[in-house]
Amino acid sequence: MELRPLTYLCVIALLASCGEGGNGQLIGAQNRPGWFQVDPYGMNYIPMGAYTMGPSDQDAPYAQVAKSRTVSVQAFYMDQTEISNNEYRQFVNYVQDSIMKRLLGDADIGEHVISEDEFGEEIDPPIINWDERIDMADEEVREALADMFYGTSEQFYRRKEIDTRKLMFEYYWIDLKEAARKSGRDLDLSYTNTKGQNNAIQGHSDRSKFIIKEVINVFPDTLCWVHDFTYAYNEPMTKNYFWHPAYDDYPVVGITWQQANAFNVWRTQNMMNAWLAAGGEPFINDFRLPTEAEWEYAARGGLKLQAYPWGGPYIRNRQGCFLGNFKPLNGNYTDDGGFHTVPIDSYSANDYGLYNMAGNVAEWTSTAFDESVYDFDHDMNSEFSYDALANDAPALKRKVIRGGSFKDVGLYLQTGTRCYEYQDTAKCYVGFRSVLTYLGRGKAVSAEDL
């Protein structure tokens, strides 16, 4: 018997009025908001897929640190370009202004921090009030911020400059791998079967021991241009590379692996999540460094078994022009159109729309370097990570860098070439870009795609 329209509407209304009960039917949690992932600004979507990871050419140095194998990577977003000086400066400015505002709040000058909520309850720690401007013309403000500047004995030509040693960023992360270890769980295996209640295995009784606090200075090591090259004149780069507007769109360098992680925490928590929370939107996945597998997959741009992001096997195009910024000939750093670094959108993008995946600066990945990692890591979202402590052996602090740089020969531009630097070192030829895991299986997935 066919339901009449009025009867049909009544049934729908009845189901809708049943709340979570669903009139005795399993209908799922109701009133869930609709959601669509917006492409983050400046990032390109990298579809999920499988590829042959590893060398696409001979192992020229006989390093024996990689071998070819098939791995699969889930969908993610990646920055189109390396993080620029100006983008990283936004992070530095945030840290600088945050410290200043808290100093002014402690000095009770203006409403630079908010210590009470709308109900008069104390907020601990106080929230920074970004609507209140810092007036450096105010003598009381200048006095409260005096410690933020170099003292008289450290000033150069009496210039009043921010003491970059004070630019410390405090952040937290959860050690999920340690929390997942069965040996580390506080398991309560006792059952209280009284009337079928409380039948559960308790996990960790205190997750605070897995919440790690980090405090790190965020300012780049501008002296890297001098200490990375002996018997060379790079003082102008040290003085101006991070400061001058001429280099705003050049890749930031002199960044340690830890500083790159701190940048991604700031980009996630203080930029994206703060904006989403203000609009009542749910949080998305965190910005982070790419895994080695993700980096190589993105660098290949969908081209299988090719040595370079643009294909292969040559580093020149048909007109004889070099396709990346590296060391093409003996001492001739200018033949490829570069010298040191070049702007982040130089040369042509690969088929995923990513610039300088070969050359310009090498890039940090999240992966810990191990010569035999290809023999034991998983073939799904391959990753080997190790969070080295300050007193750990240097070998445990090695992190994979990829892509080669302006000072490297062509071998290091190949998509399958592995190299490393130590996580607590900063180099003038190493930068980074961020990724963000896509929420869901992938874009535009229909029944026909399955």
DSSP assignment of 106-168:
HTT-SSSEEEE-TTSPEEEEEEE-TTSPP-TT-HHHHHHTGGGB--GGG-STT---B-GGG-E
Domain locations in the chain? 45-84+219-440
Q: Express each pLDDT in 192-236 by its tens digit.
A: 444 444 433 345 677 888 888 999 999 999 999 999 999 999 999
Check residue 183 and give its pLDDT: 57
Banded model confidence at residue 185, pLDDT cuts 50, 70, 90:
low
Torsion of Cα atoms, 123 then 125 then 130 then 136, to 10°: 120
Q: What is the mean pLDDT of residues 253-267?
A: 97
With 50 as the cut, is the pLDDT of residue 259 above it? yes
Task: Provide mean pLDDT across the span 112-134.
Answer: 86
Q: Which of 75 and 110 is assigned the larger pLDDT?
A: 75
CA distances for 382 relative to 46, 47, 67, 121, angstroms: 16, 16, 14, 47
Residue 71 in this model has a pLDDT that exceeds 80: yes
Element of type H or E holding 78: strand 76-79
Predicted confidence band at 351 (pLDDT cuts at 50, 70, 90)? very high
At a CB cut-off of 8 Å and minimum separation 6, what does 187 contact? Answer: 201, 202, 203
Q: What is the pLDDT of residue 188?
A: 47
The pTM assigned to this predicted structure is 0.88
Contacts of 348 (CB under 8 A, 6+ apart): 310, 323, 355
Residue 9 has pLDDT above 60, yes or no: no
pLDDT at 4: 53
Matching residue, tokens 């993700």: 294
Q: What is the pLDDT of the chain when averaged over all its residues? A: 87
Q: Is the pLDDT of residue 286 over 60?
A: yes
In the predicted structure, residue 8 carries a pLDDT above the cut 70:
no
Residue 313 carries which side chain, given as an amino acid letter? Answer: P
- Report the pLDDT value the prediction gives residue 126, as an integer from 0 to 100: 85
Q: Cα separation of 313 and 277, whole Å? A: 48
Determine how many CB atoms are found less than 10 A away from the CB of residue 59: 15
Cα separations (Å) of 284 from 75, 152, 246, 290, 436?
14, 46, 34, 16, 9
What percent of the chain lies above the pLDDT cut of 90? 57
- Residue 393, pLDDT score: 93
The predicted pLDDT at position 345 comes to: 96
421 vs 448, which has greater pLDDT? 421
Average pLDDT over residues 22-31: 86
Residue with tokens 């003292």: 151
Token pair belonging to 121: 């309850």
**Which CATH code fits 45-84+219-440?**
3.90.1580.10
Q: How confident is the model at residue 421 (pLDDT cuts 50, 70, 90)?
A: very high
Q: What is the predicted pLDDT for the residue at 19?
A: 53
pLDDT at 83: 98
pLDDT band at 158 (very low <50, low <70, confident <90, very high): confident
List Cα–Cα distances, 122 to 22, 130, 162, in angstroms.
41, 19, 32
Question: How far is Cα of residue 326 from the mean position of the Cα atoms in its chain?
Answer: 25
- Res 209: pLDDT: 84
pLDDT at 204: 62
Selected residue with higher pLDDT from 15 and 218: 218
Is pLDDT above 50 for 446?
no
Does residue 255 register a pLDDT over 50? yes
Average pLDDT over residues 3-14: 48
Structure tokens at 209: 């021991």
